[in-house]
């Protein structure tokens, strides 16, 4: 058997040899540029994407996702499933088997204890772990033997691929972080900046918010990888500058997050030094409707709460009319170019999870006007629609961002044509998303009629994301305005369906329920009106091979396979 | 003189304390939260725990007193320990950045060299361009050279660095391909080729900032020269039969330099403050880029500490300028 395996291995190696794969460390340096500089290399203390992606070159989870969102083994022999017994029949535990002879970059062996420690590190109540939700419902993590990790959940868990899966939940080395647990976590500057990992690279130098230098990891499990001997990540500047450094001057090989206007995309591509790649995850730019009354005349504490339904947005005809008046294709073309496409779903991807809802894409101004007429809102002397002496006046808020202001202006035009008086408001993003309960301008307080921002589901399974629209999640004074159901959407049928989703195991059935839930908040009730499905636009040089952009995990998920095109 | 300096130094203490309190309160009252950069997929209770771990949920007064203690005791003690191997700080908590969890002073220490080289050089280049332009423009007032000098100054004044910088990038990096657009902070100058590389990567930020600096200083130089050109002593000098060269460069220039030197000296603290836009544009990891990054991320300890250091620099350079006046100009006496 052993001989057969060896022969097979040799045969594989031979068959791969002509495919221009370089040996380890023969391709020089790969240079990344990020528009936001890397602050820390420990994803548990920062969920900023820049930090998570940079860390993914060094730290690895047990399993990750490929470009299609399919789970793939990284540090384990195989993905545990019900069939292979890795997941217990009652869905309360999952058992991972580590690869044999796995080593940290310092040469010490990777053991199940490291995973157990990582779980304890993140679940420590004083640590302020940013990825705590990855360990939701985890009762205990134990080492069955040196290479077997068993995660036990508090109840049946239909989607157990959360802890130790994906770039957000990697394994830390126990020996390095042992003194950094709990309250000490933020003070461990050196481990946080230069973690020891199992990935294709190891950190050799770290300048806060500027540069990370990395060298290939001699202990990496595949002796032929990575092709690059070193890597450097330079951060700072803006998306335009990063894109230029790859596409026009060719100083860098890969630029993450080069979200630039469509006309700049075209002119930079014309320079012929690189290409833009786009990955569509689940990020959707949307308008959220306020189902409650934000009237400033209401006493503080009752404004924008379930006590007072919205005077006109609680009428589905008005909400539908507002959605029909929008031309999503134009928005996508103007704002994002190749990096966007119009959508009617809050869960736009992966395909298997996305509803086939496309009814909103074609603009229907006449239909919209008819709906408002039917609802009793008729044009007044000044062209603004009114009903019972009240004008149809909409306060439309969003964050300060050039694309969002373009969207606001376009949508204002369409709504004005419809006979709606639109007032625009742009709020600093650090306030809007800051969640300060004392500020009137947070997106949770929603002291406006409609608001626009982007949100996404974490990973491929949208259960957590869809459960945000339950009644209990509405922000209100009782919960210090913390909650994710901005619309104050409240439908017992929706809540009941979410309950069903949390207990359903069969994937096809889960996908069906998710689509139904998606339709309930979008086309059935028009509570959320999705506009554009946004991708992440990145750029890579023509001399860099092997790039497969991925929206479900780190964009550098397969960096070990990257090579220099000669 | 000594009494004056001592009195000013003592007076600086309460001034700085008040400034620190005002900075702390202003920065703290500004809207925004360190959690705003975190993706929406992180649930609210996790956000709350992260705030607690940072100590950001403490009342502002508690954080102020803690910061004072860290700034005036823990940080100097740590520095002292680092030099002499003592243990004064006793492992006490240093001022940590909320964004990177690294000590604020370590970050500043990493960034000061870049700021001083790039911004300092730009300042020097600016001064060296500005002085001849100012002198000759004043000497040949309303000549073609003066008009061109005025045009140059107006461009330098009115074109913002984010525009001139981008223009310079497009000309020199994209079209001509002479210079890199991103500053490589890991480059260490060891031999001739690496020195050339350093010059290349400094060229564009220095050009951008040098233009802006030169514009301002050349106008000061010109008007100061004009003031002196019409003075009686200049006529006397010419009547004595001195050459124009001696009149302008010895008599007029020396007297005209007094206000200009003050302007140049008072501009020095701004070198330490870095240049927010230029540093960001060219990827120079200096103090300015750190400040704007910290502001975006609502990294309050970093913003507060940097703002306070600027305040200290400005107060001390004002003091230095005042003392220098007394030394340079015998007519000024403080006692």
User: Once rounded to an integer, what is the mean pLDDT over residues B39-55?
Assistant: 79
B109 touches chain A (CB under 8 A): no
pLDDT band at B277 (very low <50, low <70, confident <90, very high): confident
What is the percent of chain A where pLDDT is above 90? 63
Contact B169 A128 (CB under 8 A): no
**CA torsion A43→A48→A51→A55, rounded to 10°?**
40
- Note the pLDDT of residue A20: 47
Name the average pLDDT for chain B. 85
- For residue B45, the chain A residues in CB contact (below 8 A) are 482
Contact B44 A482 (CB under 8 A): yes
Q: Is the dihedral of CA B281, B286, B292, B297 positive or negative?
A: positive
Contact A205 B281 (CB under 8 A): no
pLDDT band at B328 (very low <50, low <70, confident <90, very high): low
- For residue A462, the chain B residues in CB contact (below 8 A) are none
- Note the pLDDT of residue A294: 92
The answer to whether residue A118 scores a pLDDT higher than 90 is yes
User: Once rounded to an integer, what is the mean pLDDT over residues B249-264?
Assistant: 84
User: Once rounded to an integer, what is the mean pLDDT over residues B260-270?
Assistant: 81
- For residue A457, the chain B residues in CB contact (below 8 A) are 41
Q: Which residue of B has its CA nearest to A482?
A: B44
- Note the pLDDT of residue A165: 93
CA A291 to chain B, closest CA, distance in angstroms equals 21
- For residue A234, the chain B residues in CB contact (below 8 A) are 182, 184-185, 283
Q: Which residue of B has its CA nearest to A241?
A: B281
User: Once rounded to an integer, what is the mean pLDDT over residues B47-61?
Assistant: 82
B210 touches chain A (CB under 8 A): no
Interface of B with A in 240-279 (CB under 8 A): none
Contact B53 A428 (CB under 8 A): no
Q: How many CB atoms lie within 10 A of CB B6?
A: 10
Contact A484 B43 (CB under 8 A): yes
Short-list A328, A340, A337, A342, CA closest to A263: A337
- Note the pLDDT of residue A504: 85
* Residue the block writes with tokens 């005349």: A297
| φ, ψ for residue A300, nearest 5 deg | -60, 135
What is the percent of chain B where pLDDT is above 90? 12
Contact indicator for A45, B97 with CB cutoff of 8 Å: no
Q: How far is CA A46 from the centre of its chain?
A: 14
B47 touches chain A (CB under 8 A): yes
- Note the pLDDT of residue B211: 87
Residue length of chain B? 335
User: Once rounded to an integer, what is the mean pLDDT over residues B269-292?
Assistant: 83
- Residue-wise pLDDT for A2-61, tens only, equals 445 554 444 444 444 444 456 888 999 999 999 888 989 999 987 688 899 999 999 999
The answer to whether residue A434 scores a pLDDT higher than 80 is no
The answer to whether residue B167 scores a pLDDT higher than 80 is yes
Contacts (Cβ under 8 Å, ≥6 apart) of B179: B172, B173, B200, B201, B203, B204
User: Once rounded to an integer, what is the mean pLDDT over residues A404-410?
Assistant: 94
| φ, ψ for residue A434, nearest 5 deg | -70, -25
* Residue the block writes with tokens 């500020």: A439
- Note the pLDDT of residue B333: 66
Q: Is the dihedral of CA B157, B161, B165, B171 positive or negative?
A: negative
- Note the pLDDT of residue A424: 95
CA B204 to chain A, closest CA, distance in angstroms equals 14
Contact indicator for B324, B265 with CB cutoff of 8 Å: yes
Contacts (Cβ under 8 Å, ≥6 apart) of B37: A48, A430, A433, B296, B297, B298
Contact B283 A484 (CB under 8 A): no
Q: For residue A251, what are its two tokens?
A: 């100083």
- Residue-wise pLDDT for A66-103, tens only, equals 988 889 999 999 999 988 999 998 889 999 999 999 99
Give the Cα separation of A47 and A497 in Å (integer): 30
Give the Cα separation of A488 and A485 in Å (integer): 6
Q: Which residue of B has its CA nearest to A271?
A: B174
Q: What does the DSSP assignment read for A398-456? A: EES-HHHHHHHHHHHHHHHHHT-EEEEEEE-HHHHTT--TT-TTSTTT--SSEEEEEE-
Contact A434 B298 (CB under 8 A): yes
- Note the pLDDT of residue B334: 62
- For residue A125, the chain B residues in CB contact (below 8 A) are 49
CA A39 to chain B, closest CA, distance in angstroms equals 5
Which of A49, A188, A251 lies closest to B181 in CB terms? A251
User: Once rounded to an integer, what is the mean pLDDT over residues A325-333?
Assistant: 94
CA A452 to chain B, closest CA, distance in angstroms equals 14
> According to the per-residue pLDDT averaged within each range, which of A410-419, B4-13, B138-147 is highest?
A410-419
- Note the pLDDT of residue A10: 47
10 Å CB burial of residue B120 (0-12, 13-18, 19+) is middle
Cα distance from N-terminal residue to C-terminal residue, chain B: 6
- For residue B99, the chain A residues in CB contact (below 8 A) are 39-40, 46, 209
pLDDT band at B113 (very low <50, low <70, confident <90, very high): confident
Contact B38 A47 (CB under 8 A): yes
- Note the pLDDT of residue A15: 43
The answer to whether residue A500 scores a pLDDT higher than 60 is yes
Contact A431 B101 (CB under 8 A): no
Contact A130 B46 (CB under 8 A): yes
Contact indicator for B213, B120 with CB cutoff of 8 Å: no
Contacts (Cβ under 8 Å, ≥6 apart) of B142: none
CA–CA distances in Å: residue B38 to residues A65, B35, B41, B78: 22, 5, 8, 32
Interface of B with A in 50-89 (CB under 8 A): 50-54
Name the average pLDDT for chain A. 89
- Residue-wise pLDDT for A173-201, tens only, equals 999 999 988 888 878 888 999 999 999 99
Task: Verify cis geometry, omega within 30 degrees of 0, for the bond prior to A73.
Answer: no
Which of B36, B41, B174 lies closest to A458 in CB terms? B41
- Note the pLDDT of residue A22: 61
- Residue-wise pLDDT for A234-255, tens only, equals 987 788 889 999 998 899 999 9
10 Å CB burial of residue A320 (0-12, 13-18, 19+) is buried
- For residue B46, the chain A residues in CB contact (below 8 A) are 129-130, 132-133
Contact A245 B44 (CB under 8 A): no
Q: Which residue of B has its CA nearest to A187?
A: B101
User: Once rounded to an integer, what is the mean pLDDT over residues A227-238?
Assistant: 90
- Note the pLDDT of residue A341: 93
Short-list B119, B121, B147, CA closest to B133: B147
């Amino acid at each position: 058997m052993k001989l057969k395996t060896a022969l097979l291995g040799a045969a594989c190696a031979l068959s791969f040899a002509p495919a221009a794969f370089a040996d380890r460390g023969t391709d020089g340096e790969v240079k990344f540029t990020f528009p936001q500089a890397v602050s820390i290399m420990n994803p548990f203390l920062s969920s900023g994407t820049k930090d998570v992606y940079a860390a993914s070159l060094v730290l690895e989870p047990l399993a990750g996702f490929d470009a299609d969102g399919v789970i793939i083994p990284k540090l384990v022999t195989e993905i545990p499933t019900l069939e292979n017994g890795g997941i217990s029949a009652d869905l309360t535990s999952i058992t991972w088997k580590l690869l044999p002879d796995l080593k940290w970059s310092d040469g010490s062996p990777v053991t199940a204890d490291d995973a157990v420690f990582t779980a304890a590190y993140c679940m420590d109540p004083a640590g302020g772990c940013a990825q705590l939700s990855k360990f939701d419902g985890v009762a205990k993590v134990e080492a069955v033997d040196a290479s077997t990790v068993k995660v036990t959940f508090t109840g049946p868990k239909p989607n157990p691929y959360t802890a130790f899966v994906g770039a957000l939940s990697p394994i830390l080395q126990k020996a390095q972080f042992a003194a950094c647990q709990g309250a000490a976590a933020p003070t461990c500057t050196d481990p946080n900046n230069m973690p020891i990992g199992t990935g294709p690279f190891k950190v050799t130098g770290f300048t806060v918010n500027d540069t990370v230098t990395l060298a290939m990891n001699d202990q990496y499990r595949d002796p032929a990888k990575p092709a690059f001997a070193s890597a450097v990540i330079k951060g700072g500047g803006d998306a335009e500058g990063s894109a230029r450094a790859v596409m026009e001057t060719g100083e860098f090989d890969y630029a993450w997050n080069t979200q630039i206007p469509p006309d700049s995309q075209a002119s930079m591509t014309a320079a012929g030094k690189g290409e833009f790649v786009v990955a569509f995850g689940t990020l959707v730019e949307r308008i959220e409707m306020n189902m409650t009354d934000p009237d400033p005349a209401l006493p503080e504490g009752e404004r924008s709460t379930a006590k007072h339904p919205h005077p006109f947005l609680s009428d589905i005809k008005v909400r539908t009319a507002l959605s029909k008046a929008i031309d999503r294709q134009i928005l996508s073309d103007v704002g994002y170019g190749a990096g966007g496409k119009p959508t009617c779903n809050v869960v736009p991807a992966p395909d298997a999870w996305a509803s086939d809802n496309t009814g909103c894409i074609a603009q229907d101004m006449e239909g919209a006007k008819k709906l408002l007429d039917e609802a009793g809102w008729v044009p007044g002397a000044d062209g603004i629609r009114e009903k019972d002496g009240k004008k149809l006046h909409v306060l439309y808020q969003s964050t300060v961002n050039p694309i969002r202001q373009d969207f606001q202006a376009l949508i204002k035009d369409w709504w004005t044509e419809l006979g709606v008086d639109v007032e625009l408001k742009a709020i600093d993003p650090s306030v809007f998303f800051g969640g300060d309960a004392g500020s009137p301008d947070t997106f949770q307080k929603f002291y406006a009629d409609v608001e626009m921002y982007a949100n996404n589901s974490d990973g491929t399974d949208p259960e957590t994301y869809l459960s945000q629209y339950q009644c209990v999640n509405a922000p209100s004074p009782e919960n210090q305005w913390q909650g994710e159901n901005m619309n104050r959407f409240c439908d017992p049928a929706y809540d009941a369906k979410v309950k069903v989703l949390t207990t359903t195991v069969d994937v096809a059935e889960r996908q069906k329920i998710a689509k139904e839930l998606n339709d309930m908040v979008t086309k059935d009730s028009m509570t959320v009106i999705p506009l554009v499905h946004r991708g992440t636009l990145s750029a890579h040089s023509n001399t860099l091979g092997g790039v497969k952009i991925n929206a479900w995990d780190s964009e550098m998920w397969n960096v070990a396979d990257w090579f220099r095109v000669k | 003189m000594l009494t004056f300096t001592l009195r000013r130094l003592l007076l600086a203490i309460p001034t700085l304390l008040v400034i620190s309190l005002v900075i702390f309160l202003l920065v703290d009252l500004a809207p925004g939260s360190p959690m705003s950069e975190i993706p929406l997929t992180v649930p609210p209770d996790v956000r709350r725990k992260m705030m607690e771990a940072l100590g950001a949920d403490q009342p502002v007064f508690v954080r102020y007193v803690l910061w004072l203690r860290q700034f005036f005791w823990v940080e100097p003690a740590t520095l002292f320990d680092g030099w002499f191997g003592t243990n004064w700080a006793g492992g006490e908590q240093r001022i940590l950045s909320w964004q990177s969890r690294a000590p604020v002073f370590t970050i500043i220490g990493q960034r000061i060299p870049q700021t001083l080289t790039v911004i300092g050089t730009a300042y020097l280049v600016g001064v060296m361009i500005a002085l001849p332009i100012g002198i000759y423009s004043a000497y040949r007032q309303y000549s073609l050279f003066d008009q061109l000098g005025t045009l140059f100054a107006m461009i330098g004044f009115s074109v913002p660095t984010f525009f001139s910088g981008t223009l310079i990038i497009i000309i020199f990096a994209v079209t001509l391909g002479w210079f890199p657009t991103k500053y490589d902070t890991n480059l260490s100058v060891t031999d001739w080729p690496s020195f050339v590389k350093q010059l290349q990567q400094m060229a564009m930020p220095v050009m951008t900032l040098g233009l802006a600096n030169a514009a301002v200083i050349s106008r000061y130089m010109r008007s100061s020269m004009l003031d002196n050109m019409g003075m009686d002593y200049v006529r006397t000098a010419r009547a004595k039969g001195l050459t124009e060269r001696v009149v302008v460069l010895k008599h007029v220039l020396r007297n005209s330099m007094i206000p200009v030197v003050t302007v140049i000296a008072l501009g020095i603290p701004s070198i330490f403050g870095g240049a927010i836009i230029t540093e960001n544009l060219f990827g120079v990891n200096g103090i300015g880029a750190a400040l704007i990054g910290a502001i975006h991320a609502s990294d309050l300890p970093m913003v507060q500490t940097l703002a306070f250091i600027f305040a200290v620099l400005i107060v001390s350079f004002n003091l230095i300028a005042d003392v220098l006046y007394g030394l340079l100009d015998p007519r000024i006496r403080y006692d």
